[in-house]
């Protein structure tokens, strides 16, 4: 699908450069940003405080980026899974998770994923396309429940740090006063540990970080997460030790528990050793079965025992409630491999 350049998704600096290129006054960049990210109006012809000649030039050059979801599926627990089409003709899914006064949107950064984690349906799909900043933001802006959102998590399809440039642009727009004006503490980015991009992300933003850990032993982690071969979790943790997570910014570790695979006392001991000295939280996630998977989910009692054993060793540990499993919206279940014929 051919796609003309979009105005939506450009940062303040990019808009300023564009204004210079088109002979517009520099203050017009702030005006455009307000139309785009405060009023969510991307049609230049409706930007009435910009000179008519400049509105026309912008309209001729840029095409719309925002589009409504093509499908919504609702879970018995109130979770909603939205399907969006990308400019490249692929599809991504987002999960809207209401929980009392809190409402979280789990957004995608890629259509598919190339990390190949064995327990993840998205990883089985492979990578079709990295999303632009506009396509990432579209999942937020075009959400029917947009005004109810309190939190955003980059935990949907794709590895955010395999698409760092566009993800950072989206985060800048989300958290800047000229953009959405969100506090960085409302946003969490999850990564499997792309070491070359990790420092770039930590230096460029103040949003929370969640690291997909899932096994503290190198050989065992390689079996379920091929990323370990290139970027060992020990290197990821070494980088995190260079940063301060004792104030507003938090780091957590995601740990999908697979019965008999990563939930033994020796895993508890190694997790304690690996994370010693880092102020963090471990979020335990019950494994959600995908077709053909050799892994199994532990029962509730086993999850509680694992949590309590980690807590007793001084690591704050919680069990994340599964949401949207009946519509394939829970952790590790997002996949659009079957949607190409829509």
Say which residues have a Cβ less than 8 Å from residue 1's Cβ, sequence separation at least 6: 87, 88, 89
| Residue 93 appears among annotated catalytic residues | yes
Q: What angle do CA 142, 290, 333 make, to 5 degrees?
A: 15
The active-site residue, picked from 42, 93, 135, 254, is 93
Pick the catalytic residue from 19, 106, 113, 331. 331
113 is catalytic: no
How would you class 319 by CB atoms within 10 Å of its CB: exposed for 0-12, middle for 13-18, buried for 19 or more? middle
Question: What CA–CA distances, in Å, run from 166 to 119, 122, 170, 235, 286?
Answer: 26, 20, 6, 24, 31
- The CA distance from 116 to 118, in Å, is 6
Q: How far apart are CA 226 and CA 155, in angstroms?
A: 18
**Which two three-digit tokens encode residue 338?**
């079957």
Tell me how far apart the alpha carbons of residues 207 and 183 are, in angstroms, rounded to a whole number.
8
Distances (CA, A) of 62 to 10, 12, 59, 308: 12, 16, 6, 55
- Show which residues are catalytic: 93, 331
């Amino acid at each position: 699908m051919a796609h003309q350049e979009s105005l939506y998704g450009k940062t303040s600096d990019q808009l300023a450069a564009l204004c210079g290129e088109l002979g517009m006054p520099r203050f017009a960049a702030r005006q455009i940003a307000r139309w785009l990210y405060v009023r969510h109006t991307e049609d230049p012809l409706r930007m009435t405080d910009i000179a008519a000649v400049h509105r026309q030039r912008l309209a001729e050059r840029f095409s719309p980026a925002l589009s409504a979801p093509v499908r919504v599926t609702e879970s018995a627990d109130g979770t909603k899974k939205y399907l969006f089409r990308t400019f490249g003709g692929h599809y991504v899914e987002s999960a809207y998770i209401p929980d009392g006064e809190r409402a979280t949107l789990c957004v995608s950064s890629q259509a598919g994923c190339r990390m190949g984690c064995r327990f993840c349906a998205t990883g089985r799909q492979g990578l079709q396309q990295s999303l632009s900043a506009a396509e990432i933001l579209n999942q937020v802006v075009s959400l029917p429940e947009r005004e109810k959102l309190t939190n955003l998590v980059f935990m949907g399809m794709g590895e955010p740090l395999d698409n760092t440039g566009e993800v950072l642009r989206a985060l800048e727009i989300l958290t800047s006063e000229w953009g959405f004006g969100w506090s960085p503490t409302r946003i969490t980015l999850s990564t499997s540990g792309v070491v070359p991009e990790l420092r770039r992300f930590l230096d460029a933003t103040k949003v929370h970080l969640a690291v997909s850990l899932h096994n503290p032993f190198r050989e065992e982690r390689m079996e379920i997460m091929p990323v370990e071969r290139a970027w060992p979790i020990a290197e990821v943790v070494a980088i995190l030790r260079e940063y301060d997570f004792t104030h507003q910014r938090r780091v957590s570790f995601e740990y999908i528990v697979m019965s008999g695979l990563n939930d033994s006392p020796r895993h508890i001991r190694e997790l304690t050793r690996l994370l010693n000295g880092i102020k963090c939280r471990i979020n335990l996630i019950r494994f959600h079965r995908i077709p053909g998977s050799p892994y199994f989910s532990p029962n509730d009692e086993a999850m509680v025992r694992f949590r309590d054993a980690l807590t007793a060793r001084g690591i704050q540990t919680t069990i994340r409630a599964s949401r949207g499993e009946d519509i394939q919206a829970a952790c590790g279940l997002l996949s659009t491999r079957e949607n190409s014929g829509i």
